[in-house]
Amino acid sequence: PQHLVKVAAFWMGKYPVTQSQWRVVAALPKVQHDLNPDPAKFKGNDRPVENVNWLEAVEFCDRLSAKTKQPYRLPSEAEWEYACRAGTITPFHFGETITPDLANYDGNYTYGSGPKGKYREQTTDVGSFPANALGLYDMHGNVWEWCLDQWHNNYEGAPIDGSPWIIDNDNHSHFRLIRGGSWVNYPWDCRSAFRIAYSPGYRDGIFGFRVVCRAPRTL
């Protein structure tokens, strides 16, 4: 069900993590898990890194945090949807429908009154499509984005403070949320509200992520 959530201030990467960014962090000291410095199926420095699982995305955040002394992590599901919507209540942050000129998905299929268009069959450079009102790119399509939360069938009992919904700290025992759709998905999978989950150890050429960091306190 729809529910009111009050999300504390946070910073979010304007793009999904790119392959060039991934290589830099993958070269940093290991925290818990090994990282392949070049896992992506579709190569390009400015393309999103993909073919990474949830555990590897968390390891990226842990290494980045250790290096910068700042608390980087994956977004909670509530933070992700808040950032994606950017104040909108429509299915997509740009309106009631979607076209392949606005996002990277399977353009052979339509949503609402939107037209068919190009199916690129691969990722595209981050920032190739218009940003939302918060200046965030690729929130719809290109790559699915891992969230911290464990999977729940609905929002009954979900946190109302925007924190990740985690009931068991065993990182291997619960499916993890992904959001946003990808280059291979139907347009309806790319909606702001669409949610699905996969095993934290599963990787594919459609899975990427972006990072968040809590905004510093000001006096």
Q: Token match 């994606």: residue?
A: 84
How much is the pLDDT for 218?
54
Over 60: is that where the pLDDT of 193 sits?
yes
pLDDT at 190: 98
Confidence of residue 217 (pLDDT cuts 50, 70, 90): low
**Phi, psi of 32, deg, nearest 5:** -135, -35
- Which amino acid belongs to residue 164? P
The proportion of the chain whose per-residue pLDDT surpasses 70, expressed as a percent, equals: 97
pTM for this structure?
0.94
Contact 53, 203 (CB under 8 A): yes
Q: Which pLDDT tens digit goes with each residue over 86-143?
A: 999 999 999 999 999 999 999 999 999 999 999 999 999 999 999 999 999 999 999 9
Q: In what order do the strands lie in the sheet with 207-208?
A: 195-198, 176-179, 144-150, 207-208
Helix ranges, 42-168 (H): 54-68, 77-85
pLDDT number for residue 155: 92
Tell me how far apart the alpha carbons of residues 86 and 21 are, in angstroms, rounded to a whole number: 25
Q: For residue 1, is pLDDT > 90?
A: no
* Tens-digit pLDDT profile for residues 66-85: 999 999 999 999 999 999 99
- With H, G, I as helix, E, B as strand and everything else as coil, classify residue 80: helix
Over residues 156-183, mean pLDDT: 89
**Mind listing the pLDDT tens digit for each residue in 24-39?**
999 999 999 999 999 9
